[in-house]
Amino acid sequence: MAMTGVLRPGHMQLRVLDIEESVKFYKDVVGLVETGRDASGRVYFKAWDERDHNSLILREADRAGVDFFAFKVLDKATLEKLDADLQAYGLKTERIPAGDLLETGERVRFEIPTGHLIELYAEKTDVGNGLGYTNPNPWCAQSEHGIAPTRLDHCLLYGPDIDGALDIFTKVLGFYLVEHVLLEDGKTNLAIWLSCSHKAHDIAFVRHPEPGKLHHVSFLLETWEDVLRAADIMSMNKSSIDIGPTRHGITRGTTIYAFDNSGNRYEVFCGGYQPYPDSHPITWTWDEVGTGIFFHDRALNDRFLSVVT
């Protein structure tokens, strides 16, 4: 498909309780690459195979959770158009100046009906992945440090009005619905998976009474063997594992979920299928929701459903 408009997830700012402990965790266990620190004390990371300067920003706070999740758009003209489209839809937008985040251009920020702050931006400094643009090797030493995911892939957010979020993402931002789970009435969405690309999802939402909650941030691995290796690394570092390794029925991805030292849940996964905008959305009914979430166990994990930050 032609990549226009919103291209992909770009960055997340995550709140952590102890910045230095969290830096050590995301460097040594998750295997991200530190790329900078700013005057406010935020620490910046990217996955080894990402070329843009940052995809995860850590901020010390008194409670864990997500500050904002951002998407990169094609160019400045696209950013201007989407800002105007969001305002025409009825949303208030805020311009965050270039340089507020290290090596990142101007951002457009807006709040969606689930209580989350979403950002759009067009420019971020390309710092490379250690391989170069001419005659590159297939991997570098950083790809073997810790779990070492290749990129920030998606997030799952919890909030009350997921139908409102669905409307904005599909009607204004150009996303399409890939899969959804229905409640017992067979009509109301419990959860939705949305894509702006040909990935199984770039963002997902679950209906939840509290606004602005993070269920997990997800990083991509290349193989099922990498997921199993990640489980070993988590256990060797006594990292708290939520569930897995296992498979999702929804998206078909293979996965493991764990918690960082602040209680934020993160996922590493691989696989899934490649939908396109003309793909018919897949529906999961309430009686099979356990199979949809955890295909092997065919049952839900209460902690998986209820623990959010």
Where in the sequence numbering do the catalytic residues fall? Answer: 154, 201, 216, 248, 257, 267
Task: Say if residue 231 is exposed, middle or buried (CB neighbours under 10 Å; 0-12, 13-18, 19+).
Answer: middle
User: 37: alpha, beta or left, given left = phi > 0 and alpha = psi -120 to 50?
Assistant: beta
Among 10, 44, 53, which residue's Cα sits nearest to residue 26? 44
Query: What are the residues whose beta carbons fall under 8 Å from the beta carbon of 256, sequence distance 6 or more?
Result: 227, 230, 231, 234, 241, 243, 244, 245, 246, 267, 268, 269
Strands 65-73 and 117-121, sheet pairing: parallel
Angle at 79 between CA 156 and CA 2, to 5 degrees: 75
Quote the tokens at residue 139: 């991997």
Give CA–CA dist 279/128, Å, rounded: 34
Task: Say if residue 307 is exposed, middle or buried (CB neighbours under 10 Å; 0-12, 13-18, 19+).
Answer: middle
Q: For residue 222, give the DSSP letter.
A: S
Give CA–CA dist 253/200, Å, rounded: 9
